Structure 1
Amino acid sequence: MLGHARAHRAAHISQLRHARPPGPVVRLPHMRVDLVAPPPADLPSGNNATARRWAAILRELGHRPRLRWDDAPGDADLLIALHAVKTRRALLAFRRAHPDRPAVVALTGTDIYGRRNLAPALDAATFIVALQPRALTALSRAHRVKARVIFQSAEPPRALPAKPSREFRVAVVGHLRAVKDPLRTALAVRELPEDSRIVVRHAGRALSESFARRARAEMDRNPRYRWLGELTPGRVRRLIASSHLVAITSLAEGSCNVLSEALAAHTPVVATRIPGLMGTLGAHYPGYFRPRDTRKLTRLLRRAEGDAAFYRQLAAACRRATPLVDPRRERAAWRALLAELAARRP
């Protein structure tokens, strides 16, 4: 019985990953939609990037979105809360003030994989949005029936820049904070042989002075590593597209905007074997390493640089996942979810 259930769940996850985008649905009534993200508003975090992208999608679908970072209930027709724990107060306040109006909760890595009490937010939600199908396995059966998977999309570059020929560039994109394990790639390239052309270019804001000191110290001792600080979104996309490889070293993710950007730019990745990344790349992606496994990451980087067949294998596996991050797919998924909400209205 247990084996049958596991097989069924695996088949369901596979179906979710490879299904075509939902087809067209009837036009929906215009709604005022509040998207609530964890503060601060000025931090270019994954949650804020997702909230702004979803606001653009909702606007394209004819709705009136508003971004918020507070705990007030608001007076919207629909509330979308990003991060079940950090936006819980706004969600519960909205449901108390407007018990007849729908609310959607989007799960991220630090809530669903952080062993926190999600029940109050998930119980209050009309629907739950998971950013990749493996997140469903962390939910109870009662919450899973309310869950819908919406992969995070990224616009493909209009033109792909040439990759440098004198170096093998590895991009690291992420703010310097503990859950991202941000200096792992720098550690992995310290002991490379002299003939290696690998360099690491790291874009992201240091969220503490301690991390800033560590990044500067790493640059002083490690000529292969350069911390670029915080870049504009356009410069981040150009960095990803002009790199030979993107290294994703996170300890936990709900999903990952950087992964979507890399797939859209056709830049292969090496990534930690965690559910939030496996839900998009699949269980058998050849570029995984265990979190904090510096030696395995070093071997993967060296192999990607020196083994053309392995690099092509990484690139082919990423191409197979690229349709999941097509913006048309994300837009269609939101249209379908809003249609479900409209069908529930009295």
Structure 2
Amino acid sequence: MTPALASANNGNWQTARRWAAMLRSAYRVDLADHWSAGDEALMIALHARRSAASTDAWRSAHPKRPLLLVLTGTDLYRDIAFDTDAQRALRQADALVVLNTLGARSLPPGLRGKAHVILQSCAARAPQARTQRHLRALMVGHLRDEKDPRTYWRAAQRLASRPDILLDHVGAALDPLLGAEAAGLAAGLAQFRWLGGLPHGEVRRRIQAAHVLVHASRMEGGAHVLIEAMRSGTPVLASRIDGNTGLLGEDYPGLFEPGDDSALAALLERARDDLDMLPDLMARLAPRASRFAPEAERSALHDLVGGLLASRRNELMP
């Protein structure tokens, strides 16, 4: 059960689509944006607040059947602090999935025992040869406040005197005001391009070709774009938030404080001027890449789903 289907082309949809494909080898799987009364053995719900109506209906209809709740960044780092629907969904769930290694520490202490870490995955791609004539940075994220695109844009403005540093941004304008700002910046700053929303395959090719991926988000459950970069041999500069450091490592040197466009601009200048910086960042990331292999995610997912279903069968045995 996912509140975002294919038309959204966002991280929630990509997770739901990938998990459905991984589970279909062993189970019948239905994907829906809300639950209509049915006789399924288990519900996997993505997003506590937005799926609350469906988890309420499921728990009412099937009080003993397993409910697995996958927590997004807005769940962990905003909604569960005050939203009663999200808080109720946490209590109803038999298991909670967090998508980064630090996610459980944002849960209420009494619920952390239900938390399981499942790291998302993608196929590996070989690094591309990149020109030395310029540095091309890439940010991938739909235009909304949580992704904090303005920090990236302000860094681009700080780098206006550096024609050898090019900055691209991929993402649909979910917020029209941000879309207008992106268009205005692209019109006035030659080094900056706003490419709008693109198909996922095209986004992966651009990640593969970029010198560095920038991820300036304010809140993330576990950004899939970081995983795609690591699995493509592309170094990363990212905001120092749990959803990023829980994937990259808390001591990763390519971090900047959320909203600090000056620090981001300085990192981008260093990435261009210091020939050792990006190879050093990638050397830090390369040993982590195997954690995000599809077989690792598939195994963790099957273990959790199989365990929940087995526990339910054991309860029903005389």
| Per-residue deviation, 1:194 | 4.1
- With structure 2 as the length reference, what TM-score do the two structures score? 0.93
Structure 1 residues 74-133: Cα deviation after superposition (integer angstroms, max 9, x where no partner)? 432111111111101101111110112111000111011003333311111111111012
- Seen in structure 2, the aligned counterparts of structure 1 residues 319 and 116 have a Cα distance that, compared at 3 Å, is farther
What corresponds to 2:244 in structure 1?
277
What corresponds to 1:139 in structure 2?
107
What corresponds to 1:199 in structure 2?
166
What corresponds to 2:89 in structure 1?
121
Q: Residues of 2 paired with 1:194 and 1:328: CA distance?
A: 45
Structure 1 residues 268-298: Cα deviation after superposition (integer angstroms, max 9, x where no partner)? 0000000111111111110111111010000
8 Å contact 1:92–1:121 — kept in the other structure?
yes
Unaligned runs of 5+ in 1: 1-35
| Per-residue deviation, 1:47 | 0.6
**Which moved further from structure 2: 110-119 or 272-281?**
110-119
Coordinate RMSD, CA, aligned: 1.6
8 Å contact 2:127–2:234 — kept in the other structure?
no
Name the SS of the counterpart of 1:308 in structure 2: coil
What corresponds to 1:220 in structure 2?
187
* Mapping of residues 1-346 of structure 1, within 5 Å: 36-39=1-4, 41-60=6-25, 62-114=26-78, 115-117=81-83, 118-157=86-125, 159-192=126-159, 194=161, 196-344=163-311, 345-346=313-314
Q: Residues of 2 paired with 1:230 and 1:71: CA distance?
A: 29
Q: Residues of 1 paired with 2:160 and 2:181: CA distance?
A: 23
Q: Which runs of 4+ in 1 moved over 6 A?
A: none
Alignment coverage as a number of residue pairs: 309
Q: Residues of 2 paired with 1:120 and 1:191: CA distance?
A: 45
Unaligned runs of 5+ in 2: none
8 Å contact 1:39–1:70 — kept in the other structure?
no
Letter in 2 for 1:55: A
What corresponds to 1:25 in structure 2?
none
Name the SS of the counterpart of 2:128 in structure 1: coil
Name the SS of the counterpart of 1:120 in structure 2: helix
8 Å contact 1:151–1:325 — kept in the other structure?
yes
- With structure 1 as the length reference, what TM-score do the two structures score? 0.85
Percent identity at matched positions? 39
